Amino acid sequence: MISLSLLFSSSSFAETTNSESFIQALVQLQSKSYKDKGKAIEQLVTTKDERVQSILEAMLKARLFYTKEDKVTVIGKKHPDGFSLKSVLNQKDLGVLSKSKLKKIKVNNKLRGILRAKIASLSLSSPNANVRLKAVKQMFGKTDKAIITALKIHLEDEKDSDVKNKIEVLLRINDLNSSDKVVQLSAIKALRNDLNPETRNKLEILKDSPDAEIASASKGALENIKKKLGFYENVNTAFFGLSLGSVLVLAAIGLAITFGVMGVINMAHGELIMLGAYTTYVIQQIMPNHIGLSLLVAVPAAFIVSGSVGILIERLVIRHLYGRPLETLLATFGISLILQQAVRSIFSPLNRAVETPAWMAGSLEINPALALTYNRLYILLFCLAVFAFLFLIIKKTSLGLSVQAVSQNRSMARAMGIRASRVDALTFGLGSGIAGIAGVALSQLTNVGPNLGQDYIIDSFMVVVFGGVGNLWGTLISGFTLGIANKFMEPWAGAVLAKILVLVFIILFIQKRPRGLFPQKGRAAES
Amino acid sequence: MMNLLKDNRGGQIFLALLAVLTIFIPILNLGMPETSPFHVSTYTVTLLGKYLAFALLALSVDLVWGYMGILSLGHGAFFALGGYAMGMYLMLQIGDRGVYGNPDLPDFMVFLNWPEIPWFWNGFDNFWFAMIMVALVPGLLAFIFGALAFRSRVTGVYLSIMTQALTYALLLAFFRNEMGFGGNNGLTDFKDILGFSLQADSTRIGLFIASAIALALGYLSCRTIVVSRLGRVAVAIRDTEDRVRFIGYRVDKVKLAIFTFSAVLAGIAGALYVPQVGIINPGEFSPLRSIELVVWVAIGGRTTLYGAVLGAFIVNYSKTYLTGVAPETWLFALGALFVLVTLYLPNGIVGLLKRKGEEA
């Protein structure tokens, strides 16, 4: 069966354009003589065929075989029943074959050197600068004489400055091994600011060098590098803190409206966030082929879903409890239980998998010591955008002005013709809708499950109370402060203890300043 | 004592019922053969004993919420601390009968490779020391927390949220293995108390009677506070705090005294609860538990004390029943109870009964 399919593929390679010399070289690779194999490699490279690189890489890793029966060259991968095979010609899967039916194309040390150099120069010859950069990056820590020579030759033709820099760093790291003291010293000097782990490892060795001059130079360079690394580590922690802070702000900002501006304790706020996350999930189920787009659709959808549930809650329950904050707290907590159980009954108590679009994956590499992941970066930006949006609504729209008027002096506002109860419903809907939007963002970071809301409700209240009730800026600053404080404590305290310490800190802080970081001033502060 | 029950029909009925229960349940359990239709199973006795502990907890919440207007969302923390103190005593009674057979270290410490018992476990092998801690630890926490909060005049919902943060922080802390309280699994696998096996029917009956007596004493002491001058000032604080302060009362001290007493009651309730259910774990610290017990009080009817007891029994019986029959409906029912009681029954079931009584 397998040999049949092999035959089939060997007959089908006539269709893809296989130059005479490419095929010839492939056959020659199966030769027993290492000398012939070397020639075959040379010939393969001169064909400039794009499949050559993968063939050479497989050969280097001792994964290139040919079948004993019909001498087809294949790439093999370990499999319980032998090796699963792929055609070198068209990457087609050829099934699994037992080890006894295959012959490995062996390489010796000399050939390995040749292979490495050829692969290096092949990847460096790509017209795309990004591919070249990636190729150079992969060479870090794996250089040998052959590669260095290839790099030196390539450097003269290289136009792209990024690639050029990388190659130069690589060559300098190689110079650290030089037997010439002058070369070594100049390399150490040039690498004083280099953050590659490779450099650090080499310098760690050199710092114990018998030559006093080299030892002291390496020590100086190492200290400099470590200082820089420490700095970037702090930058990294701060970024993690900002990203945690942006999550906190997103979760709390809706609460800043309902609790801060309206004075309504909404314990179901967390569940409104959860509804937003589930909306994201449902929309992804509806349009499974457009994950990226679905996320953009989910933002307004979550706003509408959570917003309307919020308005419903306000009309049915909270409206009857204005001025009785403790009762509001209990009633909305009841609602949160109902929403949780509803989600559990509809979607199952297990976590749902929300996919992350491709553009959220990966990271922005600033230097070897600092890489910012895109999803955290986007959430930070998203958080700021949501904040700006909300801020503009409250400060610049007529709804926002009505909200402020009603929250400052309800009866006066009504006397001026503002329909206070309608404003209440809309404000609550706005705060709830923002919670839904937060849910969309959270669905990209954490598990989407019935307990999602519970995990954030206490944190959200802490952020609002810490920042000062009725103050959007306070919420923003307190969210980021708590996030950064949390992340900076984590390395020495551990994640859980850091969280406990933050909670204890807030409890103590509230004793000192019961109205938060930025208390309201003037008449609004009364009550 | 007569003074406490004068003009207090609800209290009289409650104490009478409690006395009947305390006398007849043991007789029906131990005196009747198991085949008799009047036999009360040990399971039921333990269940009732658990409800009695919950009722005592509800009393402590009603004292601060009903009579002083402090909605504590962290009373579960005091309950759990009392429970842990009791659990530590019970844990050390296991001795070498644990899975690992280590005479000095509880199982979880052997499992986590602790070299020796941590210092804060010292003394817990003594029952009376443990009992002092049952009252002292929650009381001390409430005293420190209250002293800070009341002096800086943190009131209303802020205070509620702070108490919630308190129990949440403790929840996170007790989940950590490094704390030395058994982490996620908590303390369990208890064998005996004061030398009596916890599996024996007679011990169960003993715990049931102890819980009933504790509840009766708890009720009477709460009642004593409520009718005293201190209690009257507390009610005045609930209604208009500023005016009481301007008249010259030290509002923070009144609050602190009653809040601390209430925490001690909650701790005792926890200590009675643990030997009957046989486990204490960090779940008792979860904010949900604390809010749930506020609902017991709200449903029974706050500011009556016996209403809190009634609420604790009704809600917990429904919980036992519903989670047995249809577990997925329990949260719906509990959530609906929250909403309906706050909207339509501000004075709970007791309020409803009173209104019916006045109409008739």
In a domain, A379, yes or no: no
In a domain, A136, yes or no: yes
Closest Cα in chain A, distance from residue B282 (Å): 14
Q: Quote the domain boundaries for residue A449.
A: 232-359+398-522
In a domain, A64, yes or no: yes
- Distance (Å, rounded) from C-alpha A394 to C-alpha A388? 10
Q: Which of A231, A247, A277 is the last residue of a domain?
A: A231
Say if residue A66 is in the same domain as residue A16: yes
Counting other chains too, the contacts that A25-30 makes at CB distance below 8 Å and 24 or more residues apart are A26/A55, A26/A73, A26/A88, A27/A71, A29/A59, A29/A64, A29/A73, A29/A105, A30/A66, A30/A71, A30/A73, A30/A103, A30/A105
- Distance (Å, rounded) from C-alpha B265 to C-alpha B64? 11
Q: Which of A231, A262, A280 is the last residue of a domain?
A: A231
For residue A90, give the nearest of A78, A74, A102 by alpha carbon. Answer: A74
The number of C-alpha atoms within 13 Å of A182 and in the hemisphere containing its C-beta is 0
Closest Cα in chain A, distance from residue B84 (Å): 19
Best residue of A267, A313, A327, A333 to probe chain B, by most B CBs closer than 10 Å: A333
Closest Cα in chain A, distance from residue B281 (Å): 17
pLDDT of residue A3: 45
- A53-79 pLDDT, tens digit per residue, is 888 888 888 888 888 877 888 888 887
Say if residue A246 is in the same domain as residue A144: no
Residue tagged 């600011």 (tokens): A193
pLDDT of residue B205: 92
pLDDT of residue B39: 85
Q: Which two tokens stand for residue A490?
A: 């984590």
- Distance (Å, rounded) from C-alpha A271 to C-alpha A269? 5
pLDDT of residue A4: 44
- A74-129 pLDDT, tens digit per residue, is 888 887 777 888 877 777 777 788 878 888 888 888 888 788 777 777 777 777 77
pLDDT of residue A491: 84
Say if residue A248 is in the same domain as residue A211: no
Cβ <8 Å between B153 and A514: yes
Q: Hey, is the C-beta of A334 within 8 angstroms of any chain B C-beta?
A: yes
Say if residue A271 is in the same domain as residue A312: yes
Say if residue A245 is in the same domain as residue A142: no
Closest Cα in chain A, distance from residue B223 (Å): 24
Say if residue A236 is in the same domain as residue A224: no
Q: Nearest by CB to B157, which of A326, A341, A512?
A: A326
pLDDT range class, residue B360, cuts 50, 70, 90: low
Q: Nearest by CB to B336, which of A327, A328, A334?
A: A334
The whole-model pTM stands at 0.79
pLDDT of residue A6: 45
In a domain, A461, yes or no: yes
| CATH code of the domain covering residue A289 | 1.10.3470
Say if residue A429 is in the same domain as residue A315: yes
pLDDT of residue B211: 96
Q: Facing residues of A67 across strands?
A: A102
Q: Which residue of B has its CA nearest to A318?
A: B343
Cβ <8 Å between A503 and B338: no
C-alpha torsion angle, residues A314, A315, A321, A326 (rounded to 10): -20
B146 has a pLDDT exceeding 90: yes
In a domain, A372, yes or no: no
B98 has a pLDDT exceeding 50: yes
Residues of chain A with Cβ-Cβ distance to B302 below 8 Å are: none
Cβ <8 Å between A500 and B173: yes
B195 has a pLDDT exceeding 50: yes
In a 3-state reduction of DSSP, which class is residue A283?
A: helix
Residue tagged 């309800």 (tokens): A410
Residues of chain B with Cβ-Cβ distance to A265 below 8 Å are: 157, 160
pLDDT of residue B104: 81
pLDDT of residue A10: 43
Say if residue A145 is in the same domain as residue A199: yes
B1 has a pLDDT exceeding 60: no
Q: Hey, is the C-beta of A337 within 8 angstroms of any chain B C-beta?
A: yes
pLDDT of residue A524: 52
Q: Which of A78, A107, A136 is the last residue of a domain?
A: A107
In a domain, A310, yes or no: yes
In a 3-state reduction of DSSP, which class is residue A218?
A: helix
Q: Which residue of A has its CA nearest to B299?
A: A330
| Domain count of the fold of chain A | 3
Cβ <8 Å between A496 and B175: yes
Say if residue A181 is in the same domain as residue A277: no
Q: Nearest by CB to B295, which of A330, A462, A465?
A: A330
Residues of chain A with Cβ-Cβ distance to B288 below 8 Å are: 454
Say if residue A279 is in the same domain as residue A326: yes
In a domain, A375, yes or no: no
Say if residue A13 is in the same domain as residue A159: no
Q: What is the DSSP string of B166-226?
A: HHHHHHHHHH-GGGSS-GGG-EE---EETTEETTSHHHHHHHHHHHHHHHHHHHHHHHHHH
Closest Cα in chain B, distance from residue A346 (Å): 11
Say if residue A226 is in the same domain as residue A238: no
pLDDT of residue A527: 46
- B44-66 pLDDT, tens digit per residue, is 999 999 999 999 999 999 999 99
- B106-134 pLDDT, tens digit per residue, is 888 888 888 888 889 988 989 999 999 99
Closest Cα in chain A, distance from residue B173 (Å): 7
Q: Quote the domain boundaries for residue B34.
A: 2-359
pLDDT of residue A274: 95
In a domain, A453, yes or no: yes
B279-280/B187-188 β-pairing: antiparallel
pLDDT of residue A428: 92
pLDDT of residue A77: 81
- A440-489 pLDDT, tens digit per residue, is 999 988 889 998 888 888 888 889 888 887 778 989 999 999 999 999 99
Residues of chain A with Cβ-Cβ distance to B165 below 8 Å are: 458, 461-462, 503, 506-507
| Domain count of the fold of chain B | 1
Cβ <8 Å between B338 and A330: yes
pLDDT of residue B52: 96
ipTM of the complex: 0.84
- Distance (Å, rounded) from C-alpha A445 to C-alpha A454? 16
- Distance (Å, rounded) from C-alpha B210 to C-alpha B131? 13
pLDDT of residue A8: 44
Residues of chain A with Cβ-Cβ distance to B346 below 8 Å are: 327
Residues of chain A below pLDDT 50: 1-15, 525-527
